[in-house]
Structure 1
Amino acid sequence: MPSHAEQIIGLYERHARAFDKARGKSLFEAPWLRRFIEALPPAPSILDMGCGSGEPIGRYFIERCFALTGVDSSPSLIGLCRQRFPERDWHVADMRSLSLGRRYGGLIAWDSFFHLTADDQRRMFPAFRAHAGDRAALMFTSGPSHGEAIGSFSGEALYHASLAPSEYRALLAGHGFEVVAHRAEDPDCGGHTIWLARSR
């Protein structure tokens, strides 16, 4: 039987419409999205890794005239992105094997990266580096400490994992990123733990 981690892609595909509805369109993340934008180099393109249905975060960037590329493993969620924003670049792909052959001024993995196992998260840092241009901003959410947690969505187990903060710092530094800001369980952002870094 597949592990909870191995069922994530199928879960989001089975419940794509329910996820889109539950996600809503309010942007409690807006203060951190503004910080992300402030950290971007001039005239950047943005890669959203685990973009979901493109709302509300993708829309936030599009309405501010950023060139946006979105990647998600769910064909149904990418289908919603293409319906809503057909002029943007959308890909059905697993971020763990992503190789777009392009570099971006901004990389974001909001509420997606933390669905990967600890080992898969470690393996993502070369992918971040490979897709990051000069002085690119990288922002992702994690847990506050090392471990795994199982939530639920639509009656199914929803897997989350995190490394220790010290390991994230070491991985970022080892792949050419410097930490710009970090907040654990930010009470002004729904209890999210956020990392914002910039490539050197």
Structure 2
Amino acid sequence: MDKSNGYERIAKRFIEIRGQDEAGVGTLSVRNWVRSLPEKSTILDLGCGTGLPITKVLIDEGMEVYAIDASKIMVQEFNNTFPDIPVECESVEDSLFFNKQFDAIIAWGLIFLLSEEVQTKLLEKVASFLKKGGKLLFTAPAQDGVWMDNLTGQKSRSLGAKKYRDLLDKFGFRIIQEYKDEGENYYFDAIKL
């Protein structure tokens, strides 16, 4: 089973399309979110890819960043760009999250690549690795549905805003806000109670 959800196979193409873009879609939204966190917060970036553009925003804002991605090629590129940032090549479902508690966790463009079962387990796992008052930001379509990812050809699935709200509530989160960015990505911004 491909734990990278097809990204290892298309990594070089992804890097050409998005993996070198320092000011891509989502950077403004992520920058605004990061600025709501205390200075020098410890953040885990799940599905970090090459680190561009999302991880770079976290670093530029002075955060202590840790990162995880399941694609070896993406992690190699990440290491080339950010050699001082701890990164692990592993799937989010198998990761031990550096055996660390975090002030915030971000999963940009990741959750909907996972099965419903793995999404549910991941949100529960995220709750256990966030400090009380820690923040979670992830993207997933507000509409529930299944589609084939344009880049990987893999099945993607959104559980829909209502289901995500229910899961976040179940795992001890309160939604702060939901919104779309300039690329129509839908964000769930939550805090662990």
TM-score when normalising by structure 1: 0.88
What letter matches 1:192 in structure 2?
A: N
Q: Report 1:140-155 matches (<5 A).
A: 140-153=138-151
Q: Deviations over 1:13-61 (max 9, x none)?
A: 1221211110133233133213321332453111000000111111111
Name the aligned partner's letter for residue 191 of structure 1. E
- Counterpart secondary structure, 2:109: coil
In the alignment, structure 1 residue 194 sits paired with structure 2 residue 192? no
Matches within 5 A, 1:35-184: 35-100=32-97, 101-153=99-151, 156-183=152-179
Q: Answer yes or no: is the 8 Å Cα contact 1:39–1:137 preserved in 2.
A: no
Cα separation, 1, equivalents of 2:105 and 2:147:
25
Secondary structure of the structure 2 residue equivalent to 1:145:
coil
Alignment root-mean-square deviation, CA: 1.7
Structure 1 equivalent of residue 13 of structure 2: 18
Alpha-carbon deviation of 1:10? 5.9
Q: Shift of the alpha carbon at 1:134?
A: 2.2
How far apart, in 2, do the equivalents of 1:39 and 1:174 lie? 24
Gaps of 5+ in 1: 1-5
Structure 2 length-normalised TM: 0.90
| Contact 1:41/1:135 (8 A) holds in 2 | no
Q: Which runs of 5+ in 2 are unaligned?
A: none
Distance change (3 Å), C-alpha of 1:66 and 1:42:
closer
2:104 and 2:135 in contact (8 A); partners too: yes
The one of 16, 26, 35 aligned to 1:29: 26
| Seq. identity, % | 23
**1:140 Cα deviation after fit:** 0.5
Helix, strand or coil: the match of 2:22?
coil
Report the secondary structure of 1:96's partner residue: coil
Seen in structure 2, the aligned counterparts of structure 1 residues 119 and 60 have a Cα distance that, compared at 3 Å, is: same
